[in-house]
Structure formats: C-alpha cells, structure tokens
Structure 1
Amino acid sequence: MAADQDFGVDMQGGRLKAPDAKRRPIEATHPASSYLGRLRLLVALDCLLVEGSVTRAAERLALSPAAVSRLLGQARELYGDPLLKRSGRRLVPTPRAESLRNRLRALAAETERAMERSVPQAERAEPDPAVLASWRREPIVQAPPLAMRPAFLLDDEPGPEALAQQLSGIESDGDPRRRLAKYIAVVGRKSGNSRPLTLAESQDAFATILQGDADPMQIGALLRLLSYRGETAAELAGLVRAARDSFLAGGAGRTAADLDWPAYPSPRSLRTPWFVQAALLVADAGHRVVMHGTHAGGRLERAVEAIGIPVALSVAQAQATLGERNIVYMPLAGFGARLQGLMSLYPLFESRSSVNSAVHLLNPLAARTMLLGVSQPAYRELHRDTALLLGHGDLSIVASSRDVAECNPFRAMTMHRLVEGRPVDLMTAAQAEPLSQGIGGLTSLEYWMAVWSGAARDARATATIVLTAALALMTINRAPNEELTSYRQMAVELWERRHRRVRPR
C-alpha cells in the first residue's frame, strides 16, 4: 500500500511515476541556462509573439499567467532586450523580437511536424491531374470591383519560410491596390503568420490611401486590423510621414515655430476649452504657437474666433500668419482634407482608428517642440516612442481625458516628456480644489470670455490655465522637471498682465 501511496501507475506505458503533488516545477528542473530550459523559453516566446497576450499564451501552453510572465522575464534577461512592449490591448514585439519571429515559427512548426505520425511516401496517394482539371471552371458570377482577390493563390497553408518569401517583394509591386492588399495580408493573417508593418510599409500603405488609390474596403480593413491589434510606434510613424507628404510640398513646413499644440477633442466633450487661453498666454510671452485640430462640435473653433486667434486654411497661409502673429490655428479639414475624411469614419465603426492617434504628431509647421494630450495610458509611451522615430526630441504628453493638452491641477498626474531626446517623466501633486463658481446667467462661451477679460474670477479655471501654460513654457525651453515651480510663477505673471501687453499684429 505504501507503494500505491507514493507512486501512480501509467496504465498505457506500465511505468511508475510520481504524483502531481510531488513533482518539481519544470522551471526549477530546467533553468533558463540549460539546453532544455532555453528551448522552453523559445517555445514560450513564440507563443507570446503569436498571441500578443500573456493570458492567451498561458492558455495555449497550459500554464499559469504567472509562469508565462516568469518565462518572458527570463527570455528578456537572456536576450538583453524587452522583446515585448505594451501597446493598446496587446503586447507588440520590439525589433529584436521581430527579427526572431520567423525563426521561432519555423522551430515551432518543425517541432509539430516531428511529433506527427508520418505516412510513408509510398503510401501517399498522388492526385490525378485529369481529376483536378475536371473540377476547374470559370465562376458563374464575376466578383465586383470592390471584391479584392488574393495577391497569391495557395494550394495549402504556407510554412513560415514560404510566407516570408511571398511577402518580401511588396514594395516593388507597381499596382497600389495589390500592394495594399499585401500589407493587409501582413497584418491580418491568422495567429503566428501575421506581424506588424515596418515604418516603410506603413508609410507606403497610407500614402496609397491618402493619394486616393485604395479601395474603400481596403481602407476599412487596414484601419480595423491595426486598431484591433494595437498600433506600433513604427506603424504610427509611417502613417504620420505619409500624411505629411500629402500636405507638404518642397520646403513647406520649415518655420521658426516654437511649439506645436494639437487639439482633437471628442465632439461629445462638453468641457470648457481653457487650454486655448493658456496657448494665448504662451504666444503673448513671445513664443510662436501652432494649434491644429478638428471641428469637434464647434466648441474649439468658436473659442479660437472669440478670443482673436487667427485661422489658416493651408500650410502656406499658416506660415504667413505666424510671421505676423505669434499664434495660429489650422483646421485639419483645411490642410489635410483626406485625413479629416479618415477621421470622419468614426460613426461607421463606433471606435477610434490609428488616424486619431497619428494626427497629434503631424506637426504641420515643423515646430521645435510639441505639447500633446493623450487620453489612453498605454498610448502615452507609444506617442513618445513614435516621436523619437520621427526625429522629435522635445515634447511633453499630458494625461488628458479628451485628447487635448490641458493640465488638471487638482489631480496627481504623470507627464511623459522628451528633453533633447531623453525620456523623462514628470510627476505633479494634486492641488486643493476650490469651490466651483456659478456662471451668473451667462452662457458657457460668455463666461469663458468673461474669465479672460477679468469680468469674472474663477480660481479653478485660473489654476488650470496657469499650470497648462507653465508646462508649455517648460517644453519650449527644454527645462528640467525641477523648474516647474519657476515656470508656474512665470505663467501666473503672464496671466496677471495679460491685458497690459500689446500682442504683435
């Protein structure tokens, strides 16, 4: 009986084995430094690249998420690289992990083939060509133009090597629709065979779309696939480059602008745009500020017109205006009509697309620094990584609930910055929030203008404007985090003397 208690019987092999309760974890018996341990890491890494999720990889490997996380940590230590980084709802591979993808897939596929029961070559039935030919015929109904045919026809599922070879010549294809179809295939194939687009591929794909050479079905397919998986920095950078090429010509965009301040609030947002007054303070301090955005229900454009910020409908007009005034607002529909059209697809999907993220990084007048507002936490580092790929070394990203760079002084916040190409995080403590004041029978716009003119005093609005202007000034001057207090005081002084200074015209 003692033997029955200590060992279980494998009824198929007739061997004795230790019960589950007494087995040692395989991580303990096969550390990452051993041959079997490293093989286990490669299998786990392949599964993570395929699934893009620790939880789903754990289910596929029949392990716990904690065990897969440990394996990922060991793989990172082994390669000296993060390998997978969070982007939206998925883990996306770093360039190092991407370089391993096909080799890992080939290893996994060969392992699966080696474990299968093989059929001797002599027993394999060769198909009769005459029989195959008898099943071939022209289709009864030809596919309409919008039904894109596959770029290549396959008799069977290709292996990793064959897939890589088939997709290797995408850029050389002269037909833009066929080329875009291949990019969609790169992103949208089933797990294990898909991968993110490179920067060059993304730029070519979106150039095809913005030039009007894409099929409408292709546009929807690519945008939804990218959003579902989560965009990478390279994909966003490629989209931004394609967008810039679509509205810049020759030397356009080379100006002495100091700060690019995108403003793309949701049309559903009902919040008062205090950030517009902060931008005007920065311009009054002698810095050239470029704002660009969308109609957003009209609230933003009403504020810009009411406070006297000039509006430019093209890059050339914006350049001329900035030479006369220190601030200009550019509606996206004016200088990037096709981009505006892509953003207008929101009602068809009821969700955002990659374009909603890319517009924040357009920087149409090539300003030296940028001030962004990003609502989703996972996308703040993504925007910073994308900016580095685009060659922008100085920016600040505000944790905003509405995709506009406006600080909330009454909440503790982390701001993601780039200072001369170095990632720096700035943490701010929450201030005591004063009581909310009524608007005294005025409309929201009238009250907003009354605060600017001094006819109404609002401590909450003033604190918001001052902190937002302070961060903008810090960004322009590439100042270290320690100087936030001094820039806040500078912003207070700008606010107090905002009507004593004659703005340049």
Structure 2
Amino acid sequence: MSNLSKYVYAMGRGPSKGRNLTRAESTDAMCEILSGRAAPEAVGALLMLMRYRGETPDEIAGFVDAMRMRLLPWQDVNVDLDWPSYAAGRTRGNPWFLLSAKLVARAGYSVVLHGWNSHQNPVASVVNAVNNLNIPISDSPDKTKTALTTHGITYCPLGDIDQSALDLLRLCEVLGLRSAINTALRALNPCIAPATVQGVFHPSYRGLQQASAALLDQKNMTVIKGGGGEFECNPCKDTQVFMCNQDHEDQITLPASMDEHQRLSAASGDGDETAALWQGSIENEFAKQIVLSTTTLALKTCDPMLTLDDASNWAAALWADRQQNRASA
C-alpha cells in the first residue's frame, strides 16, 4: 500500500469510521503527491474525499507545510504583504484590486501578488492588467527581489513558483470541482510575508482560512468574501472581515461606503479600464470606492494598530497623491 493509499483509506471508510487527516498526515500526503510518485487516481480520490468530508485547518496547514518545503529560495525574498489571486469564473469584471495593491506599494510596503486564474473573460485578466499597470511579472526569486527594489510590487505566476502546484490546481478541470488545493494556495504565502490578504468565494471558508493561518503562525492576515473569490470589497455592502493579529483571531466589519446596491461586475465596461482609472482618464466612482475600501483593509492588515478610519483616510490620501503624480506611475 502506497503512502497515499493509507490516507484515502482513512478518509473513505464510511460515515462512522472515516476521519479527517492530521496535519502531519496531510504534510506527508502532499509530499507524496508533489513527488510525482502517487497514482493520479489516488490523488483525485484523496482530494474529493477531503472536499466531501470538509477541509480542516490541520489539513490545509499540512498541505502548505509540504508546498513550502519546495520553495526555500522564495523564502529569501523580503516581502511585507502577500496577495494571492486565484479567482475563477466568468462573472469577474476588471481586477480593480490591483490598483489597491499599487496603492499599498505606494505606502511603502513591498507587495507580492501571485496566482493563476481560469475561466475568466478577457476583461478580468490579471496578467493583462498587470502589464497595463506597469506591475512587473517575475518568474524567479531573484527577479522578484529586483522588481520589489524598483517598483515595490510584482506579480508571480504560480507556474513559475511551482509548476507541480499549478498542475494540482488544474485538476479541477478533470474533477469538475474545486479542491483543498484552492484553499492551500491562498494560504501558501511563498515568501513568508508577515502580512497576507485573502479572498474567498464561499463565506464558510473565511473561518477555515483564518484558523489555517493561525496554525501556520501567520503574523497578520485578513480574509473576506470577495468578488469571484478575490480580495476585493464591494463598497455597497458591509464587509465581514476575519483577521489574525499576532496571537489572536478577530472579526470586524468594514461599513459600506456607498448607499446604492450594485454587483462588483457593474463597475466594469467592455475592456480593461484599470489603467484608465489609475491615470485619471475616466471617472468611475463605484470602481474608485472598490479600490479605496480594499486598500483600507490591506493597509490595516499591514499595520493592525491602524483604526479603520485611519486606514481609510490613508487610502484616500494615497489615491489623491497618485492622481497628482500619475505621470510617473
């Protein structure tokens, strides 16, 4: 019996005898998967059993432990804020959250975006948008260090961080369902930044991500239900915020900043408008408020001592300053 088979057996024995995996078992299972030794049938069985039973914080932390073992060079990159982007779905509009990431970098925090996005229309393309926004794409730790020195921000495609992790993520195309890989990659934080922001599509995953971050000794972390699963606020709604701050977990509410009710996708036109909004060549108050509310939470994650009002005021000042200096952006 292979290492993976015993874990499939443990989880799949039935309602009364089956169980979830411990953190150590999950680490061992993911090491086996990433080594390429596990049979693909066993990989699919394990991931779907985990989905059926419900992922646990120990399982997610174990998966992340194993993934990080392969990323030691990335852990030498000095980063302030980790920003995963793994949303999928055709309902996504412009990736306005990238403007928030740029504002956080303007505030003096180094920001690493990383991810992979599927099944999205061209308007939602993160890769296209980072090119238009002068956010460099980095495919190695050395290039990431250089990009952070010159720009304070960079985007790292998952395939360049770990192709095997991307292959696992893309199993959703075969299985037809998301798996614990989607959850683990949001918690991956390849550079072990002290702060990380995460977006989820299903509200129940907020607590799971929060508890997983605590097990992983994540210093500061914020997770919200965001548009399509991105870390992106809808300013027309109160946003329930799940946080890790040093040694404790907390929940707060970011109040809505607009009275009207709109979907996030309503802020988008027919093409990528992120660069135009940044440069001030278009006016879009809804999109601007998306950016400002998202920036507010990102800044508070970087500095938990900030009040929401302080973070909001800082976000507004950063936005105004980028308007005055947009020629250099």
- TM-score, with normalisation over the residues of structure 2? 0.91
Instruction: Note if 1:374 corresponds to 2:200.
Output: yes
| Aligned residue identity for 2:65 | R
| Aligned residue identity for 1:179 | N
Which consecutive unaligned segments of at least 5 residues does structure 2 have? none
From 114, 122, 129, the equivalent of 1:292 is 114
> Which residue is equivalent to 1:206?
30
Instruction: Note if 1:302 corresponds to 2:128.
Output: yes
Q: Does the 8 Å CA contact 1:398/1:415 hold for their aligned counterparts?
A: yes
Q: Does the 8 Å CA contact 1:244/1:364 hold for their aligned counterparts?
A: yes
Which consecutive unaligned segments of at least 5 residues does structure 1 have? 1-150, 152-177
Cα displacement (A) at 1:432: 2.9
Instruction: Note if 1:261 corresponds to 2:87.
Output: no
Distance in 2 between residues matched to 1:473 and 1:346, nearest whole Å: 33
Instruction: Note if 1:282 corresponds to 2:100.
Output: no
From 153, 165, 171, the equivalent of 1:339 is 165
String of CA shifts for 1:279-307, please: whole Å, max 9, x gaps: 00110111101100104346111111110
> Which residue is equivalent to 1:227?
51
Distance in 1 between residues matched to 2:261 and 2:169, nearest whole Å: 38
Distance in 1 between residues matched to 2:21 and 2:288, nearest whole Å: 45
Identify if the C-alpha distance between structure 1 residues 431 and 252 changes in structure 2 by more than 3 Å, giving closer, same or farther: closer
From 486, 495, 502, the equivalent of 2:319 is 495
Identify if the C-alpha distance between structure 1 residues 265 and 253 changes in structure 2 by more than 3 Å, giving closer, same or farther: same
| Aligned residue identity for 2:203 | P
From 252, 271, 293, the equivalent of 1:444 is 271
Q: Does the 8 Å CA contact 1:433/1:460 hold for their aligned counterparts?
A: no
Instruction: Note if 1:188 corresponds to 2:16.
Output: no
String of CA shifts for 1:225-263, please: whole Å, max 9, x gaps: 0011111100001111111112x13x5413331110111
Distance in 2 between residues matched to 1:459 and 1:252, nearest whole Å: 38
Identity of aligned residues (%): 32
Distance in 2 between residues matched to 1:301 and 1:232, nearest whole Å: 31
String of CA shifts for 1:203-239, please: whole Å, max 9, x gaps: 0101110111111111111011001111110000111
String of CA shifts for 1:302-347, please: whole Å, max 9, x gaps: 1111100010112333233223321010111111111111111112
Q: Does the 8 Å CA contact 1:393/1:422 hold for their aligned counterparts?
A: no
String of CA shifts for 1:346-395, please: whole Å, max 9, x gaps: 12222110001111011111111011111212211111111111111311
Cα displacement (A) at 1:186: 1.0
Cα displacement (A) at 1:501: 4.4
Cα displacement (A) at 1:180: 1.2
Identify if the C-alpha distance between structure 1 residues 478 and 254 changes in structure 2 by more than 3 Å, giving closer, same or farther: farther
Cα displacement (A) at 1:421: 2.1
Cα displacement (A) at 1:502: 8.3
Instruction: Note if 1:236 corresponds to 2:60.
Output: yes
Query: What is the SS of the residue equivalent to 1:205?
Result: helix
Q: Does the 8 Å CA contact 2:236/2:260 hold for their aligned counterparts?
A: no
Query: What is the SS of the residue equivalent to 1:191?
Result: coil
* RMSD between superposed Cα atoms in Å: 2.1
Distance in 1 between residues matched to 2:296 and 2:246, nearest whole Å: 19
> Which residue is equivalent to 2:284?
458
Cα displacement (A) at 1:182: 0.7
Identify if the C-alpha distance between structure 1 residues 504 and 316 changes in structure 2 by more than 3 Å, giving closer, same or farther: farther
Segments of 4+ moved more than 6 angstroms: 502-505
Q: Does the 8 Å CA contact 2:85/2:117 hold for their aligned counterparts?
A: no
Q: Does the 8 Å CA contact 1:324/1:504 hold for their aligned counterparts?
A: no
Q: Does the 8 Å CA contact 2:84/2:197 hold for their aligned counterparts?
A: yes
- Structure number with the bigger relative contact order (C-alpha 8 A, sep ≥ 6) is 2
> Which residue is equivalent to 2:245?
419
Instruction: Note if 1:320 corresponds to 2:136.
Output: no
Query: What is the SS of the residue equivalent to 1:261?
Result: strand
